[in-house]
Chains A and B, each alone.
Chain A
Amino acid sequence: MATVHLTSSDFDAQIKSGMAFVDFWAEWCGPCKMAGPIIDQLSEEYAGKVLIAKLDVDKFPDLAQRYNCLSIPTVILFKDGVEIGRQVGFAGKAGYLDLLKKAGL
């Protein structure tokens, strides 16, 4: 399954139920470019279990603001729409797997 690109209009609906792993990123961010391919791998590995998604903070600054996301890449893990974990900065695949493991995934 490919990584889902969220927007302001579908964000709430997409993360409302189940687990969602959202990578807040932007084109101008160097470390985000390193994270990109790993996020895509995760979307394959976690297909059907977790919604692996990306949100472009340049296009949708309202959502970055809502979650006080002032540094990217930041990944926020949601369960039924509620934040249950956060990884600020690129910590490699291991960092993302840790975040998912802590949530029992």
Chain B
Amino acid sequence: MEEIYDVIIVGSGPAGLTAGLYTSRANLKTLIIGGEKWGGQLMLTTLVENYPGFPEGIQGPELMQRMRDQTERHGAKFLQADITGIDFSKKPFVANVGQNVYLGKAIILSTGAKTKWLELPAEQRLIGRGVSSCAPCDAPFFKGKKVVVVGGGDSAMEEALVLAKFTPEVTIVHRKNSFRASQIMQDRVKNNPAIKIIFNTEVTDVLGTDKVTGIKIKNSQTNQEQEMAIDGLFVAIGHIPVTELFASDIHVDEKGYVVSRRHEPQNLLDKTDIPITQRYHSMTSIEGVFSAGDIHDYHYRQAVTAAGYGCEAALDVERWLTEEK
């Protein structure tokens, strides 16, 4: 007979690990199925300056290692393996990791989001050969080379700033006429002599056989297309939620984000006499299944908000387990 966990947390970014910290401190038997690539998006960053408590900033991977250590120290079991399926129809819920089966009374889904690519024909073939989504990982390969960053948010700004430490020829290409990045990041980019900006322009093709040699860009106002010789293309146009595995069971929106009761209260109320929405904000369309972090949040998407949502889901689980008995 398999052990029954009070809660199984899927994912190990700031949301999942914070949830695990709270549930294990609440004496709930906690299993975190953290993924082989554990730690989430912060594992692909360098200095994180906006996570409170680290006045000098902290390296993203180090922050995640500390969160993991803290969570494990309080008794959560961490499984560094990929989840392969969840049966939501059983009680307790059944989570599969390959041949192994884990049972959980409650589940917190916190699988986060992954890189959105441009979906250009040559793009996937040239990943690792000049196409990248991780400047902190790959920038040192582009010392003195010509690189383009695509995107207009904070992550595009960060990619450009990281690259500018290695090469004076960084160009940000953005399809709109202004950035949506935070003002401080925009200012840093605009004040950096190594970074040029091209607005109102889309990347329409990636060129190169064995490695990137250039891109095609198209101005959306003049419709003029031109080639640009470059060595590296860094894609930072956003993320998509990682919900494929449960999208057929859990209510997700048209973009794949999990809909929790904090979003759509009236549709998901299954007990008309009890205002569940006010009690379990993080519960998904299946009772006992909760969500936290970028998997449902397309608005804030910060490490600290993800951690906050993780805490929220953990407190909801704790209360639900007590009240529903």
Residues of A with Cβ closer than 8 Å to B? 26, 28-31, 33-34, 57-58, 64, 68-72, 74, 86, 88-94
Query: A71 contacts B137, CB within 8 Å?
Result: yes
Q: Could you give 24 example pairs across A and B, Cβ below 8 Å? A: A29-B137, A30-B43, A30-B44, A30-B136, A30-B137, A31-B43, A33-B61, A34-B36, A34-B38, A68-B129, A68-B211, A70-B129, A70-B138, A70-B141, A70-B211, A71-B134, A71-B138, A72-B137, A74-B128, A88-B128, A88-B129, A91-B36, A92-B35, A93-B36
Contact B128 A69 (CB under 8 A): yes
With contacts A30-B43, A31-B43, A34-B38 taken as known, whether A71 is within 8 angstroms of B128 at the C-beta atoms is yes
How far, in Å, is A76 (CB) from chain B's closest CB? Answer: 10
Beyond A31-B37, A94-B82, 17 additional contacts (C-beta under 8 Å) are A26-B140, A28-B140, A29-B137, A30-B60, A30-B137, A31-B43, A33-B61, A69-B141, A70-B128, A70-B232, A71-B127, A71-B129, A71-B132, A74-B128, A90-B36, A91-B36, A93-B36
CB-based closest 4 A-B pairs: A92-B36, A88-B128, A71-B128, A30-B61
Among residues 134 to 182 in chain B, which have CB atoms less than 8 Å away from a CB atom of chain A?
134, 136-138, 140-142
Q: Which of A58, A68, A90, A92 contacts B140, CB < 8 Å?
A: A58
Q: Is residue B130 contacting chain A, with contact meaning CB distance below 8 A? A: yes
Is B210 an interface position by the 8 A CB rule? yes
Known: A31-B44, A92-B82. A72 touches B61 (CB 8 A): no
CB neighbours of B130 from chain A (8 A): 68, 70
- List, in ascending order, chain B residues with CB within 8 A of A89's CB: 127-128
Q: How far apart sit A57 and B137, CA to CA, in the bound complex (Å)?
A: 12
Write the nearest CB–CB distance from B110 to chain A, whole angstroms: 18
Q: Are A72 and B60 in contact (CB under 8 A)?
A: no
Bound Cα distance A71, B133 (Å): 10
CB < 8 Å neighbour of B37 from A26, A74, A90: A90
- Chain A contacts for B39, CB-based, 8 A: 34
**Closest-CB distance, A49 to chain B (whole angstroms):** 23
CB closest residue in chain B, given A86: B128
